[in-house]
Amino acid sequence: MSNRRQALVTGGGRGIGRGIVLALAAEGWHVAINFRSNREAAEEAAAAARGAGGEATLVPGNIADPASRAEVVAATLDACGSLDLLVNNAGMAPRQRVDLLEMGEASYDEVMGVNLKGPLFLTQALARNMVARVASGGSPGQIVNIGSISGFTSSTNRSEYCISKAGMTMMTALLADCLSPWGINVYEIQPGMIETDMTRGVKAKYDALIADDLTPIPRWGQPEDIGKAVAAIAGGALPFSTGEVIRVDGGFHMHRL
């Protein structure tokens, strides 16, 4: 087993996840890159991680599916031994944006499965391993959940996404409380408008809003902005914080007149 620090990043092949993988790799981590279907993107991210100075292992699987999730847990522990860092990044937007009054249960269930239920039960399984390591004299790991400004900002044409991200904030608090006796700190990072394939369809809209002073920092966020925040936490920069929500949103969260 490698002497490198060990991390799992779900949804690590593209977008924000890829930015996190590369930031950790640059610090010498071995990163297990979970992906659901786009192997080509995950392989490219793994190659880039190795080029940045880290190691990478691909861990395919759908965290929303219980059987597949169990395979992700087993493959991760096989590749890493135990984890120093879990990053719950995998997420999805609804396949169609529709008004709350027209939202269907199938869309709600799909988004909640990927964005909240899957991360919760994945964390439950891997946190047990972290606790066991501490109980046997090992060091505690850390957990970072990737939320969204949509957790506190109403968007009635993608209500299921907003609800899932609001739930992640409470999930972070519950995990931080539960795991504190073992020194396992839990954080949530809330990205703002990040330029990825998920936001490509609304780019023109947000280009105009950003130009019209939507955020004090007048630009799109980039995946590496989130990667830097995760790497700072992973490097031990916040040892006296847990349950903390860290907003990487260009100042969007401020209420300005």
Q: What is the predicted pLDDT for the residue at 233?
A: 99
By the 10 Å C-beta count (0-12 exposed, 13-18 middle, 19+ buried), 120 is classed as: middle
In terms of DSSP H, where are the helices of the chain?
A: 15-26, 39-51, 66-80, 105-112, 118-135, 159-179, 203-211, 223-234
Q: What is the predicted pLDDT for the residue at 202?
A: 87
Q: What is the predicted pLDDT for the residue at 209?
A: 93
CB 6 within 8 A of CB 55: no
Tell me the CA end-to-end span of the chain in Å, nearest whole number.
Answer: 55
Residue stretches of the chain with pLDDT short of 50 = none
Q: What is the predicted pLDDT for the residue at 1?
A: 55
Structure tokens at 162: 């907003």
CATH architecture of 6-195+222-248: 3-Layer(aba) Sandwich (3.40)
CB 28 within 8 A of CB 56: no
Measured CA to CA, the distance from residue 184 to residue 257 in angstroms comes to: 39
Q: What is the predicted pLDDT for the residue at 77?
A: 98
Note the pLDDT tens digit of each residue in 157-213: 999 999 999 999 999 999 999 999 999 999 999 999 999 988 888 899 999 999 999
CB 83 within 8 A of CB 27: no
Q: Please report where in the chains the tokens 């490097």 appear, as a residue.
A: 235
CB 75 within 8 A of CB 62: no
Count the Cβ atoms, other than its own, within 10 Å of residue 155: 13
**Residue type for position 78:** D
User: Which helix (H) or strand (E) segment is 144 a member of?
Assistant: strand 142-146
- Relative to beta strand 142-146, strand 185-191 is parallel
Q: What positions carry a catalytic annotation?
A: 161
Q: What is the predicted pLDDT for the residue at 257?
A: 75
Q: What is the predicted pLDDT for the residue at 38?
A: 97
Q: What is the predicted pLDDT for the residue at 5?
A: 98
